[in-house]
Amino acid sequence: MPWAESESSPSSNADSPLNDLEAGTQTPSSLPSWDDLSNYTRSSLLWHSQRLAPPLQEYPNNWSTSSGSWLSNLPILIVPSFLQKYVGGRPSPDHKLHKIAALDGLRGWACLLVFNFHFLFTYTWKVAIGWGFAKENFSIFQLPIIHLLTSGHIMVAIFFVISGYVLSYKPLKTIRSRSWDQTFVVLASSTFRRGLRLYIPSIIGIAIVMAAVRMGVYNYSHVVVNEGQTILGTNEQHPIILPTFYMQLWDWYRTVVHLTDPWNWGLYYNYYNPHLWTIPVEFRCSIVLFLTILATSRLRSSVRIGLVACLLWFCVRWGRWDVVLFLSGMLMAEVDLIHGIWENPAPAPTTASSVDSTPTTTKPFWNEKAPSLPIQLPPAVHRAIRVCHRNRWLGVFVTGLYIGSSPNNGFKWTPGYIWLARLTPKTYPEPHRFPQTIGAVLIVLAINRSPAIQRLFTNPFSQYLGRISFAFYIVHGPILHSLGYSIMPSIWAVVGRQTDFQAGLGFLLGWLVCLPISICVADLFWRAVDIPSVRFARWLEEKLVVQAGWTNDLPTSMKGKK
């Protein structure tokens, strides 16, 4: 796999099932040996220019020649990776699909739908309300399932389920193969790199927004916010313009401090990029997940599943919906490993003293043919039964989409979702998170088991969205707050906003401007920041980790002793 590391690496990721923001994107099979950080910076710039024309990868001694080379290849650097072949760059290589590539595509689409939500909810509350609420609100976009196109909270739940699944898949696989030493190595590596993986791109993204504030990029958007005629929906946190650069720099520093605070379990919405509230949540829940895997690593599978299920219920009762999603991903990964969803299951242990004595099957039960019936039925009935049996995971998928369509506001008074409100624990601080949790789990569960559904997320466009998803998530908010806020008043000044048709036309025109620009900027951020940050974290770990046979950290009296 192109993102796998060498097996000898302490942070080996060769068995990583997903090209995920947890594992990094497009990582090579081995990392270069950088002697110092300056060499790293230069090498990282070269690394993500592999698709560029050869002159960009050469550094002539003559400064003017070097500058000319960079300038001539500047269009190749700034255009999206999928367009570089049209401006002289090398064509993008074919990306071989890995086993769980569908989840990669799912995450990409989830990011795109989050963009839709954040684009719309600034100007209207309709995206947070379901069909038939208050005996009105009968827009087609408020219908169940269709509502997902403009609803963002369910997408966050999907992010967290995927993270729990991916982060736990490999350590659980090593646990089931009794590779305890490898389990420790995987968990140690994941824990060390997790914060770097999440926070480096996020902090750089906030720094770019801070620089844009000082350059006046947000001046007009502040005028739009203050005049109060365009922002009729959610007026979320907007970058503050301070009198001096020194004050702005300290404000950015305090923002980074609060963003990286591991002790505060509250949701932190910073003013530079409020959508990054999910990053500290991801980090804290990842640490809880790693600790849970470590604590249960020597237990039998049945015991581990039972204890994690009890812990999940405990988190439900205390309203920790974020941890519930991560633990749900872990449980799904364990069950998939037991039944050999993505690979042939390991043979069941034969000794009574084995730690993990959970039997395995040679064929997943959902791949078996429909059982023969003891009575004779007409052929049409037989065909109907077999079609239902074959499409049962499609039914689970549609059910997940329906439940996940639960609106953010007033779902207890929304037709079709009142029964879900009655099931929601009173302990949930945000009640709408509970049905959306159920929907996210069902969606991921169905995708993992249905090749037909997987095809929706393994096409080239979906896979591309998955590759740039983390970068897209980081950059789309600042673009909507600067460019989006600035152009929407002008668009509605031309097309009008008095009728639903005029308002919708304005939304469409603004969306057609902001989305392509967000994707292009995300592609650049992915190549310039996201990928190098992954490699930096792995390079740093390789430099600091204690290799096998290393004795320099031991006291002199202990060196050479076993």
Q: Is the pLDDT of residue 339 over 90?
A: no
- Do residues 468 and 498 touch, judged by C-beta distance below 8 A? no
* Lowest mean pLDDT, pick from 52-61, 174-183, 271-280: 52-61
* Cβ atoms within 10 Å of 307's Cβ, excluding its own: 14
| Alpha carbons 373 and 119: distance in angstroms, whole number | 53
Q: What is the pLDDT of residue 552?
A: 55
- Is 521 within a domain? yes
Q: Is the pLDDT of residue 286 over 60?
A: yes
- Do residues 447 and 103 touch, judged by C-beta distance below 8 A? yes
Enclosing domain of residue 190: 100-341+380-544
Q: What is the pLDDT of residue 99?
A: 81
| Alpha carbons 487 and 506: distance in angstroms, whole number | 10
Q: Is the pLDDT of residue 354 over 50?
A: no
- Is 221 within a domain? yes
Under the banding of pLDDT at 50, 70 and 90, the label for residue 72 is low
* Lowest mean pLDDT, pick from 15-29, 139-153, 337-351, 378-392: 15-29
* Cβ atoms within 10 Å of 58's Cβ, excluding its own: 10
Q: Is the pLDDT of residue 50 over 80?
A: no
Under the banding of pLDDT at 50, 70 and 90, the label for residue 165 is very high
Among candidate residues 448, 457, 456, 455, the one with its CA nearest the CA of residue 364: 448
DSSP 3-state of 264: coil
| Alpha carbons 36 and 269: distance in angstroms, whole number | 36
Q: What is the pLDDT of residue 555?
A: 55
Q: Is the pLDDT of residue 114 over 90?
A: yes
Instruction: Provide, rounded to the nearest whole percent, the portion of the chain with pLDDT above 70.
Output: 73
- Tens digits of residue pLDDT in 535-553: 999 999 999 988 765 555 5
Q: What is the pLDDT of residue 492?
A: 95
Among candidate residues 99, 71, 72, 76, the one with its CA nearest the CA of residue 87: 76
Q: What is the pLDDT of residue 13?
A: 39
Residue 91, judged by CB atoms within 10 A of its CB (0-12, 13-18, 19+), counts as exposed
| Alpha carbons 348 and 360: distance in angstroms, whole number | 6
> Could you tell me the CA-to-CA distances from 331 to 19, 172, 326, 347, 496 in Å, in that order?
20, 10, 9, 20, 51
Under the banding of pLDDT at 50, 70 and 90, the label for residue 383 is low
The per-residue DSSP string of 76-136 comes to HHHS-GGGGGGGTPPPPPPPPP-TTHHHHHHHHHHHHHHHHHHHHTTT-SGGGB-TTGGG-
- Is 218 within a domain? yes
- Is 21 within a domain? no
- Is 208 within a domain? yes
Beta bridge partners of 409: 129
Higher pLDDT, 132 or 505: 505
Q: What is the mean pLDDT of residues 390-413?
A: 91
- Tens digits of residue pLDDT in 221-255: 999 999 888 999 999 999 999 999 999 999 999 99
Q: What is the DSSP letter of 6?
A: P
Higher pLDDT, 428 or 349: 428
Under the banding of pLDDT at 50, 70 and 90, the label for residue 259 is very high
| Alpha carbons 446 and 466: distance in angstroms, whole number | 19
Q: What is the mean pLDDT of residues 419-438?
A: 91
Q: What is the pLDDT of residue 70?
A: 55
Residue 303, judged by CB atoms within 10 A of its CB (0-12, 13-18, 19+), counts as middle
- Is 57 within a domain? no
- Is 396 within a domain? yes
DSSP tally for the chain: helices H, then strands E: 21, 0
Q: Is the pLDDT of residue 66 over 60?
A: no
Q: What is the pLDDT of residue 62?
A: 53
Q: What is the pLDDT of residue 87?
A: 66
Higher pLDDT, 159 or 559: 159
- Is 322 within a domain? yes
- Do residues 163 and 284 touch, judged by C-beta distance below 8 A? no
Q: What is the pLDDT of residue 22?
A: 52
- Tens digits of residue pLDDT in 75-112: 667 777 777 766 666 666 667 777 888 999 999 999 99
* Cβ atoms within 10 Å of 120's Cβ, excluding its own: 23
Q: What is the pLDDT of residue 27?
A: 40
Higher pLDDT, 339 or 506: 506
Q: What is the pLDDT of residue 51?
A: 41
* Lowest mean pLDDT, pick from 29-38, 61-70, 180-189, 258-267: 29-38
* Lowest mean pLDDT, pick from 49-58, 200-209, 508-517: 49-58
How many structural domains does the chain have?
1
**The three-state (H, E, C) secondary structure of 368-435, written as one string:** CCCCCCCCCCCHHHHHHHHHHHHCHHHHHHHHHHHHHCCCCECHHHCCCCHHHHHHCCCCCCCCCHHH
Consecutive H or E run containing 505 = helix 500-525
Q: What is the mean pLDDT of residues 400-428?
A: 91
Q: What is the value of pTM for the model shown?
A: 0.82
- Do residues 289 and 168 touch, judged by C-beta distance below 8 A? yes
